[in-house]
Structures are given as structure tokens and as C-alpha cells.
Amino acid sequence: MSGFWTLFRRELAMAWGKGGGPIVAVAFYACVATLLPLAVGSSPQRLAAVAPGSAWLALALASLLSLERLFERDYEDGALDLLTLGPVPLEIVSATKCLAQWVSTGLPLALFTPIAATALGADTRLIPLTLASAALGGLGFAFVGGIGAALSLGSRRGGVLIAVIVLPLFVPPIILGGGAMAAMAGGLNWQPGFLLLGAYSLAAVALGPFAMAAACRNALS
């Protein structure tokens, strides 16, 4: 357990180092939310209709920004070899990296999501659901994104490859999270979409570390 917390603190420090952390991701999210009215028009009715889906799309894109650094820095300086040979299993190392990614980037983005959705015209009654679903979906984004980051190790254009790998896998939470918000706004049952979103994130947490560890071992072999 002490090894886990040591690694977790290390990953948080690396996530915040050299201008990292949520600053760039939140700034990107704010830019997307600001540009959207210029593309679809400033009509409140039109913005309210697209606010749930647009907020989730912006959340998914913002979650991509820092994924390239998840394994690449340790791979380049040799730290990943030491982590592989260390006492903590590589699956636990991968899960810890993704948890730190979620805490340092996913949670701040989740906190900003209700602000962006409300600014785009979403009903203020959606704020609790928006916050909960964004935090849950962000957890899934971190672990699924970690798979893409591990698979792209050693490639010249890792950021582009990560996007190609994980964006199709980001489609289900975008549909489920945006659908749950739209259902609640329309007075319909929002719980199925939220529960399916939770199932997606739990599956990513359970299966993602094994896929990441296998991809890292393959890159190091």
C-alpha cells in the first residue's frame, strides 16, 4: 500500500509539473464552449437543445490533451523499465497512473462541465446530474485513454495515434452521458443512461490496467 501511495503522489506531481495539470484542458474546454454559439447560432432554444451533447463532446476532446504524457515520459527516460521490474505489479502501476490522471485532469473538467453546460443554455436543474455523470465518465475516459497511451508507446506521432485509437471508444459515454442529461431535461427517465455510463466506466477500470500492462511490456520487449 505504501508503494501505491508513493507512486500516486509521484504521478500527481508529474501531472502538475511543467505547466501541466488541468489548466490547459480546462482552457481548451472553455474555448470549445465559447466557439460553439458562433457555429450554431445564439438562439437560446437552439443552444439549450445541443448543450448536453456539446458539453460531453468538449469533455471528451479535452480529456485527450494530456494522455500522451501518461506513459511516454517514463518510457523515454527509462523509468518505465524500473517500474516494470519493481515490487508493484505493472497493472497496479497503470491503474495508479490513470487514477492520478483522473484526479489531476478529469475531476477539474467534471467541475467545469456544469458551468459550460449552463452557459450553453442547459437547465440549472441538470447541474447535479451533469457533475456526477461527468466525473463518472471522466474516470472511464482516463482508463480507456490510458490504453491508447500505452499502445502508442514508441510511435513518432503518439498524440495522433492516441486520438485515432480512443476516440471511437469515447463514443458510448458521450451518447450515454448526453442522453441522460437530455432525458432529464425532457422529463424522461434518465437513470438507465447514467447506470450504463457507470457500467462503462467500471468495465474500463477493471479491464484497462491489464491491457495497458500488456501494451507496455510489448513496447519494452
Residue 39 is predicted with a pLDDT of: 75
Residue 158 is predicted with a pLDDT of: 66
Residue 137 is predicted with a pLDDT of: 93
Residue 28 is predicted with a pLDDT of: 87
Residue 66 is predicted with a pLDDT of: 79
Q: What does the pLDDT look like over 152-168, one tens digit per residue?
A: 887 777 678 888 889 99
Q: How many domains does the chain have?
A: 1
- The pTM (predicted TM-score) of the whole model is 0.89
Low-confidence ranges of the chain (pLDDT < 50): none
Residue 62 is predicted with a pLDDT of: 87
Residue 2 is predicted with a pLDDT of: 65
Q: Which domain holds residue 167?
A: 2-220
Please check whether residue 174 is in contact with residue 60, taking contact to mean a CB–CB distance below 8 angstroms: yes
